Structure 1
Amino acid sequence: MKYYTVLLLILFSFFAKAQKEYSELTEKASELMEEAKDETGYRNALALYEKAFKMYPENIDGEGLYNASVLASTLKNNEKAFQYLIPLSQIKGDGDNYPGWSYIFGENAEKEYKNLLSDPAWNALKQKAYGYKKQFYNELQERETEFYHTHKSTLSTVENPEALYREIKNFNPYEPKKDRDYSIAFKINDSATTSFIIHLPQNYNPQKKYSLLFFLHGAVRNNELIDYQRADWNLGGWNRYYTKYAEPDDVILVFPRASKQYNWMLSDHGFFMIPGMLKQIKKSINIDDNKVFISGHSNGATGSFSYLMKQPTQFSGFYGFNTYPKVFTGGTFVENIKNRSFINFSTDNDYYYPPNANDDFTKLMNGISADYKEYCYNGFPHWFPQFNESEPAYQILFKDLKNRKRNPFPKEISWEFDDNRYGNIDWISDIKLDTLNKTIRQHKELNFTINKWLAYDDKDSLIAKQVDKKAFDFPRKSGKIKAVYDHNVFRIETSDIKSFSVNISPEAVDLKEKVKVYVNGKLYFSEKVIYNREFMLQNFNDTKDREQIWINYINVKI
């Protein structure tokens, strides 16, 4: 037994060394390729790739074959180009490799392989690659179909409203899953599709409710939508600690893909994606509705903060690494954080958001008694998750996630917004702004000035620049609503609001007694509330939430 253990260690060491040396050679070849300005430069780069292939044939990867084929095509060596393209086209896509056909059908393929287009072998290659592509998507569709497979729902057949409430509460059509990782397509509109990877716990049990954590990636300006993803692209690297700490507590991880046009920060065209993905997931996976969380890095952290500010109802808590705490599509109404929580992990050498501004933001949060914490790590740049020293931050995150739970029926609500798409918060919904009111009531504006910002100079050194910048913008008129309830009595104060609805739950009020709603000090409603079957079905269809179930609503017009 000892002999085999030693042998395995020797073999592991050998393969690790080979992989390292292959990577060093191909990285150097890639640098030569980028720097090449003439035929000699291209030949030198190709020669180095060929040396790596010859010395380490077991380590040949898709990127190496792709670059070598482009170089050979550029040098008009068609025979050699196809020598690399044929095995490249057959790569199914695993580990760090993209499917081989994606290089052949990519946007730049005809430009990169322009010298091959008239060669009959090119069309033959494309025909075979198309077959591989079709097979890939067929397998992807089969896995997605299996992911969505559940027992048939019978909710629509339940006629008695009180029985329907109980059925929704105990709704469980879920079945076991064959795999842990699924790439799921997500339709944005008729012309755009993206995807998310969902990573399930080791022994997923459909009878158990699970916590779920979304991770929103950064650099949304530099990303493109992709209709499939591989788990390998998301679970390691900078995200390795999400994977590590989700494992022991059976936390489901979800990794969506955004782009410059459709994202969670720069525009509202893609802001619906995360709630929409959550709804899709809840159709097939048993999620604890009171334990759904969002985290992210950089632009993704700003996205997490934006969901907290604009659409937090379905979520329990929010986290961000190197966050820019601002809503970029409208006003940043920081008091909205009091409906949930946020933890920020910042660094003192961050060009994205300066440490002095983080200090001022923390003071602002403390001043309004928000559930907000900031942990600053000194000596690290913006790409903090890349470093092993970031691990303690993930320990803090997952400890908070484990102990935190959404209260679906909070006694108090305070909500400010400037876009009717985001007029919903827990048991107050469908809030509409009073846009015709010419007298703008001034809500208390919480803001501060940033006077220093870190930036890299020409020598790649981080320096502090003087600025005069408000932390938040308020480009539009906003409305605000404050509400409390206790013992069947709702008291609501509004400012620049023309209408809203109060959602009713039997867990929050006694349906045997009258429900009273006071609006701006005046009694507006005083009646018993009964179950509304159609409303319950519609609401559950919209949210798939089995904890925050509304049996009826009271519509209020100011």
Structure 2
Amino acid sequence: MKGYHVLLAFMFSIVSFGQNTYSKLINQADDLLEEHEDEQSKRQAFSLYEKAFKSFPDSITAADLSEISIIASELKEADKAFAYLDRLIKIERAQYGFPGWQNVTNKSALEEYKNLLDDPGWASMMSEAHALKAKFDVNLKKEEEEFYKVKSTKELTSTNGKKLYEEIKAYNPYLPKAKQDYSISFTINDTVKTSFFIHLPKNYSPKKEYPVLFFLHGAVRYNNLQEFQTRELSLGGWNRYYTKYGDLDEVILIFPSGGKKYNWMTPNDGFFMISAMLREVKKAINVDDNKVFIAGHSNGATGSFSYLMKDSSPFAGFYGFNTQPKVFTGGTFIENIKNRSFINFSTDEDYYYPPNANDSFTAMMNELKADYKEYRYNGFPHWFPEFDESEPAYEILFKDLKERQRKSFTKELTWEFDDNAYGGVDWLTNIKLDTLDQKADWHKERNFKITRWLEYDKAENLQTIEVDKNAFDMPRLSGKAVARYKDNEFRIETSRVKSLSIAISPEMVNLKNKIKVYINGRLYYDKKVDYNTAFILDNFDKTRDRKTIWINKIDITVE
């Protein structure tokens, strides 16, 4: 047996040595291309790639095939370019995580392979690539249809509001799933699509409710929308600890794809996506409605924070790695955090948001007695999730996720807004602005100054620069409401508010008795409220929420 183990060790060392040598050759080639753009450097890089391919054929990656084919095209070596492209487009998703034909059907291919476009081989190769894409699309559609397949939903048929309420609470049309991972398309509008990748617990059961965690990626301005995503790119790399702890704790992981125009940070065009994706997932998967969370890194962390500020009702809690806590599409109304929670994992060498600003923000959170925590990791740059030392942060995140529940019926709510599209939280809803009205004395702006920022100089050294900027922008006038209820009585204070609605649940009030609503000290409503079947169905269709079920609403115009 000893000889057997020695042989295994020897074989492993050969493989390891081969992989290291292959990587060195490829890295040498890439360094050449990064430093020089002349033809001689490109030919040297091409030779290094070919040497690596010939010496270590088992180490060849799809990315390297793509790179060498582009170099060959730039050198006008058409035969070699097509030879490598032929190998590339036939790569299967199962082997490499994505189909190879994607490299020539994407928008950048026309620029990367411009020297090949007039060659007869280009049309032939594109025909083959599109045929492979069509076959792939058929399979992807079948997987998506299987994902959304459920039992009959005819059980929601009661015309009695109270019975309908109970039917929704017990609603479970779900079926087992054939796979653990799905790439699901998502329609943004008539001409634009993106996708989300969903990773289910290994032994997913439709009889069990599961927590959900959305992860919002960063660099939204530099990303393109992806119409499909892969397991390898979604679950590995920087996301490896989401996968590890998500699997351990049986959490459904969802990875949306955002781009420059449609994302969760700025502009506002794509902000609707996460809530809309959640609604679609709830149609297919047994989700615990009170345990849906959002996390993100960089621009994604800012996105997570933005949902906390603007659209927190569907979610239980929010997390961010290297967050800039600011809304970029309007005002940042920081007291809205009182309705939920946020955990920020920051680093002291972050160019995206400096440690002194995080200190000031944390002080503000402590003053508000908000459910906010910051964990500072020293000695790490903005790309903290790349490091193995980031793992303890994920342990903190998932521990919080396991213990936290959404509380939609909390007795006190605070909400400030400057866009009617985001006018409300939980039962305090549909608030409309009246910016011509006088602001109430208690309606104060909260902000602070940032005086130092970190940035990299030309030599890639991190330096501190002096700045004079507000933490938050306040480009528009805002409205605000502070509300509470007890014993069938609601009392609400408003500022610059034209109208609002109070959503009613039997978990909040005694429907046998009258409900009184006072706004700014004046009695506006003093009646009983009953189940409204049409309202219940419409609200469920919008949210697919089986735990926060509104049975009616009280609409009030503030005079």
- What TM-score results when the alignment is normalised by the length of structure 2? 0.96
Alpha-carbon distance change, 429 to 6 in structure 1, aligned in 2, over 3 angstroms: farther
Shift of 1:2: 8.2
Alignment of 1:64-103 (within 5 A): 64-94=64-94, 98-103=98-103
CA contact (8 A) 2:455 2:463 kept: yes
* TM-aligned CA deviation for residue 118 of structure 1: 3.0
Tell which deviates more after alignment, 28-37 or 197-206.
28-37
Contact 1:95/1:232 (8 A) holds in 2? no
| Alpha-carbon distance change, 152 to 339 in structure 1, aligned in 2, over 3 angstroms | same
- Residue 39 of structure 1, CA deviation: 2.8
Instruction: Please list, as runs of the form range in 1=range in 2, the aligned pairs for 1:234-253 lying within 5 A after superposition.
Output: 234-253=234-253
In structure 2, the partner of 1:353 is 353
1:374-393 Cα deviation digits (max 9, x unpaired): 11111111111111111111
The equivalences for 1:436-455 within 5 A come to 436-437=436-437, 439-441=438-440, 443-455=443-455
Over residues 219-250 of structure 1, what are the superposed CA-to-partner deviations in whole Å (9 max), with x where a residue is unaligned? 11111111000011021111111111111110
Q: State the shift of 1:103 in Å.
A: 1.6
SS at match of 2:270: coil
Cα distance per residue 1:448-501 (max 9 Å; x no partner): 111111111222221211111111111111111111111211111111111111
Provide the C-alpha distance between the structure 2 equivalents of 1:466 and 1:94, rounded to a whole number of angstroms: 51
Query: Which residue is equivalent to 1:220?
Result: 220
Paired amino acid for 2:475: P
Q: Quick one: distance in 1 between partners of 2:408 and 2:219?
A: 33
CA distance in 2, matches of 1:244, 1:118: 48
| Counterpart code for 1:347 | T
Q: Is the 8 A contact 1:440 1:477 kept in 2?
A: no
C-alpha distance in 2, partners of 1:3/1:422?
A: 70
Question: Does 2:494 correspond to 1:480?
Answer: no
AA partner of residue 313 (structure 2): T
Q: Distance in 2 between matches of 1:37 and 1:230?
A: 32
Aligned ranges for residues 81-160 of structure 1 at < 5 Å? Answer: 81-94=81-94, 98-160=98-160
Q: CA deviation at 1:15?
A: 3.4
Taking a change above 3 Å as real, the CA distance of residues 48 and 475 of structure 1, as seen in their structure-2 partners, is: same
Partner of 1:363: 363
Paired with 2:137 and 2:354, the residues of 1 have a C-alpha distance of: 45
Over 3 Å counting, the alpha-carbon distance change for 1:39 and 1:467 in structure 2 is: closer
Corresponding residue for residue 518 of structure 1: 518
CA distance in structure 1 between the partners assigned to 2:165 and 2:421 by the alignment: 27
CA contact (8 A) 1:453 1:466 kept: yes
Tell me which moved more, 104-113 or 465-474.
Answer: 104-113
Q: Does the CA contact (< 8 Å) of 2:97 and 2:231 recur in 1? A: no
Note if contact 2:296-2:304 (Cα within 8 Å) is conserved in structure 1. Answer: yes
Per the alignment, residue 547 of structure 1 pairs with 547
- The answer to whether the 8 A contact 2:435-2:478 is kept is no
Normalising by structure 1, we get a TM-score of 0.96
1:307 corresponds in structure 2 to: 307
Q: Give the % identical residues.
A: 58
Partner of 1:425: helix, strand, or coil?
coil
Distance in 2 (alpha carbons) for counterparts of 1:7 and 1:279: 55
CA 1:221 to 1:111, structure 2 compared with 1: closer, same or farther past 3 Å?
Answer: closer
Over the residues paired in the alignment, what is the CA RMSD in angstroms? Answer: 1.7
Q: CA deviation at 1:4?
A: 7.1
In the TM superposition, 1:166-181 aligns within 5 A as: 166-181=166-181
Q: How far did 1:150 drift?
A: 0.6
In 2, Cα distance between the equivalents of 1:171 and 1:500?
A: 30
Query: Following TM superposition, by how much is the alpha carbon of 1:152 offset from its aligned partner in structure 2, in angstroms?
Result: 1.9
* Amino acid paired to 2:315: F
Q: CA deviation at 1:9?
A: 5.8
| Gapped regions of structure 1 (runs ≥ 5) | none
The alignment partner of 2:255 has SS state of strand
**Residues 366 and 96 of structure 1: CA distance in aligned 2, closer, same or farther (over 3 Å):** farther
- 1:427-467 alpha-carbon deviations (Å, 9 max, x no partner): 01111111343x34452111111111111122222121111
Any idea what SS the aligned residue of 1:415 has?
strand
State the 1:276 CA deviation: 0.8
1:290 is displaced (CA, Å) by 0.5
Of 293-302 and 90-99, deviating more is 90-99
Pairing of 1:333-352 with structure 2 (within 5 A): 333-352=333-352
Aligned to 1:52: 52
Indicate the residue corresponding to 2:40 in structure 1. Answer: 40
Are the aligned partners of 1:223 and 1:260 in contact in 2 as well (CA < 8 Å)? yes
Aligned residues of 2:97 and 2:230 also touching (Cα < 8 A): no
> Relative to 1, partners in 2 of residues 1:254 and 1:6: Cα closer, same or farther, differing over 3 Å?
farther
* 2:254 aligned residue: 254
Aligned equivalents of 1:417 and 1:372: distance in 2? Answer: 20
5 Å-filtered alignment, 1:403-422, equals 403-422=403-422
Decide whether aligned partners of structure 1 residues 532 and 247 sit closer, same or farther in structure 2, where only a CA change above 3 A counts: same
The alignment partner of 2:269 has SS state of coil
Q: Which residue number in structure 1 is paired with residue 390 of structure 2? A: 390
| Structure 2 CA distance for partners of 1:306 and 1:111, relative to 1, 3 Å | closer
Distance 1:460 1:118, change over 3 A: closer
Compared CA separation, residues 6 and 335, structure 1 to 2 (3 A): farther
| 1:273–1:8 CA distance, 2 compared to 1 (3 A) | farther
Distance change >3 Å, CA 417–CA 533, structure 1 → 2: same
In structure 1, what is the Cα distance between the partners aligned to 2:114 and 2:345? 48
Report deviation, 1:156.
4.7
Which residue is equivalent to 1:201?
201
- State how 1:499-510 maps to structure 2 within 5 Å: 499-510=499-510
What is the match of residue 277 of structure 1? 277
Which amino acid is the alignment partner of residue 19 of structure 1?
A: Q
Kindly indicate whether the alpha-carbon contact (under 8 Å) linking 1:62 and 1:97 is maintained by their aligned counterparts in 2: no
Shift in CA distance, 423/441, structure 1 to aligned 2, threshold 3 Å: same
User: Deviation at 1:413?
Assistant: 0.5
One-letter identity of the residue aligned with 1:260: K
CA distance in 2: counterparts of 1:7 and 1:154, whole angstroms: 64
**One-letter amino acid matched to 1:119:** D
- The Cα shift of 1:372 comes to 0.6
1:498–1:6 CA distance, 2 compared to 1 (3 A)? farther
* SS in structure 1 of the partner of residue 509 of structure 2: coil
Question: Which residue identity lines up with residue 212 of structure 2 in the other structure?
Answer: L
Shift of 1:37: 3.1
CA deviation map 1:277-297 (0-9, x unaligned): 111111101110000001111
1:53 and 1:15 map into 2 onto residues whose CA distance is: 15
